[in-house]
């Protein structure tokens, strides 16, 4: 069984998979067409939450990292096992300079990935917990204060639903990618960017 097939059985809720692929020099344009096609195919699947592509820096090796997010392991499995995905992967083969590497991320570790180090292991859990609390506390405080004039009259549960939705969205797509890059030396002391 390939690493890509080892989706953790105990996982519930959203799941992320990262796919890293090195591309042959001169095949970047063809691979970009592949990325557009496979991205469009993934969007049509149930549970799709988003895709993010990290392209190689100019002058760097041609390693692309694609992050797929689905709302459940079952929906991700549907995408991974689909004939549509298999057909798109076959189209990418002539442009690849090596095997595809896949990794599943669940929970907090999906917030702690560095685009320049796609295969790096997650930092120690205590560091993830410290940084998450140190980031989420001021962020949720700001969200609660800023949203109070707009939703302060709502009952408690809907108010919490709105503030946590905004906070988690900001943490996932805005705050944590920047904080992780900023504090990468502390999170990954043995690795250098």
- Would the pLDDT of 84 be above 90? yes
- Do 148 and 88 belong together in one domain? no
Q: Which domain holds residue 154?
A: 125-187
- Do 17 and 78 belong together in one domain? yes
- Would the pLDDT of 40 be above 60? yes
Q: Return the exposure string of 150-162: e unless at least 16 CB atoms fall within 10 Å of the residue's CB, then b.
A: eeeeeeeeebeeb
Which pLDDT score, from 0 to 100, does residue 150 have? Answer: 93
- The answer to whether 34 touches 96, Cβ cutoff 8 Å, is no
- Do 25 and 91 belong together in one domain? yes
Please, where are the H alpha helices in 61-155? 73-80, 83-92, 125-151
Q: Which of 14-18, 25-29, 63-67, 116-120 has the lowest mean pLDDT?
A: 116-120
- Residue 96 CA to residue 77 CA, distance in Å, equals 24
Identify whether 115 is part of a domain.
Answer: no
- Do 98 and 174 belong together in one domain? no
Identify whether 100 is part of a domain.
Answer: yes
- Would the pLDDT of 106 be above 50? yes
Which pLDDT score, from 0 to 100, does residue 56 have? Answer: 81
- Do 97 and 8 belong together in one domain? yes
Could you tell me the pTM of the whole model? 0.56
Identify whether 110 is part of a domain.
Answer: no
**Number of domains comprising the chain:** 2
Query: To the nearest whole number, what is the mean pLDDT of the chain?
Result: 81
Residues, the chain, total? 193
**CATH of residue 58:** 3.30.70.100
- Do 22 and 85 belong together in one domain? yes
- Would the pLDDT of 103 be above 50? yes
- Would the pLDDT of 63 be above 60? yes
- Do 135 and 80 belong together in one domain? no
Query: Tokens 């067409």 label which residue?
Result: 33
* Band (2; pLDDT cuts 50, 70, 90): very low
- Do 80 and 10 belong together in one domain? yes
Which pLDDT score, from 0 to 100, does residue 154 have? Answer: 92
Identify whether 163 is part of a domain.
Answer: yes
């Amino acid at each position: 069984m390939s690493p890509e097939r080892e989706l953790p059985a105990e996982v519930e809720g959203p799941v992320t998979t990262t796919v890293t692929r090195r591309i042959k020099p001169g095949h970047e344009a063809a691979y970009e067409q592949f990325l557009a096609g496979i991205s469009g195919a993934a969007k049509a699947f149930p549970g799709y939450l988003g895709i993010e592509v990290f392209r190689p820096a100019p002058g760097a090796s041609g390693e692309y990292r694609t992050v797929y997010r689905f709302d459940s392991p079952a929906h991700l499995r549907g995408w991974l096992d689909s004939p549509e995905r298999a057909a798109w992967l076959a189209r990418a083969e002539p442009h690849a300079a090596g095997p595809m590497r896949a990794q599943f991320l669940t929970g907090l570790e999906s917030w702690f990935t560095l685009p320049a180090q796609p295969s790096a292991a997650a930092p120690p859990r205590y560091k993830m917990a410290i940084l998450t609390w140190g980031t989420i506390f001021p962020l949720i405080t700001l969200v609660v204060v800023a949203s109070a004039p707009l939703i302060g009259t709502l009952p408690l549960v809907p108010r919490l639903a709105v503030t946590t939705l905004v906070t988690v969205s900001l943490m996932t797509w805005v705050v944590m990618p920047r904080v992780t890059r900023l504090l990468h030396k502390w999170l990954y002391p043995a690795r250098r960017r």
